[in-house]
Amino acid sequence: MLFEQSLNVNASIDLERLPLCLVIHLPTYKGTRVNTEATEMSAIYQALQKLLQISSPPQGVKVLLQNPELLTDQADNLLVMLIDNAKAQQRESFVKVLTGLRSLAQEVRQQREQKERLEEIL
């Protein structure tokens, strides 16, 4: 499995080195949408950092379930941007890690949604 092969790469996100397009510095005011979004993105970055430290898919599932913000569209979009950035920098091992994590997150998200739909029916 590509994901398992890519786990041997020590990958981490240095938030200070993220591409400028991922780090938007806007003034934030308490209670505003911008402030809320900045807080949500910060939570996603922190949770993604945990996800990058896993050594197996079962650990990844555990981290994803403990950090549901990683199962959001925002997190998926962030992973896509990070994958594109890693491709542009020709960091193929990091591309594999991020692609594997994205696939795992998508699978967990689908399973969770199916479970929720079944619970609604029953």
Contacts of 8 (CB under 8 A, 6+ apart): none
51 touches 69 (CB < 8 A): no
Domain residue ranges in the chain? 2-121
**Of 79 and 1, the one with more pLDDT:** 79
With beta carbons less than 8 A apart as the criterion, state whether 105 and 64 touch. Answer: yes
> Which one, of 16, 20, 77, lies nearest residue 44 by Cα?
77
Q: CA-CA distance, 33 to 42, in Å (whole number)?
A: 14
Task: List, for residues 5-59, the tens digit of each pLDDT value.
Answer: 444 444 555 544 544 344 433 344 445 444 556 677 888 999 999 999 999 999 9
Q: What is the pLDDT of residues 46-98, one digit of tens each?
A: 999 999 999 999 999 999 999 999 999 999 999 999 999 999 999 999 999 99
Residue recorded with tokens 């795992």:
104
Q: From CA 43, how far away is CA 57, in angstroms rounded?
A: 21
Task: Give the global pTM.
Answer: 0.70
Burial (CB count within 10 angstroms: exposed 0-12, middle 13-18, buried 19+), residue 55? exposed
Say how far apart CA 87 and CA 108 lie, in whole Å.
Answer: 25
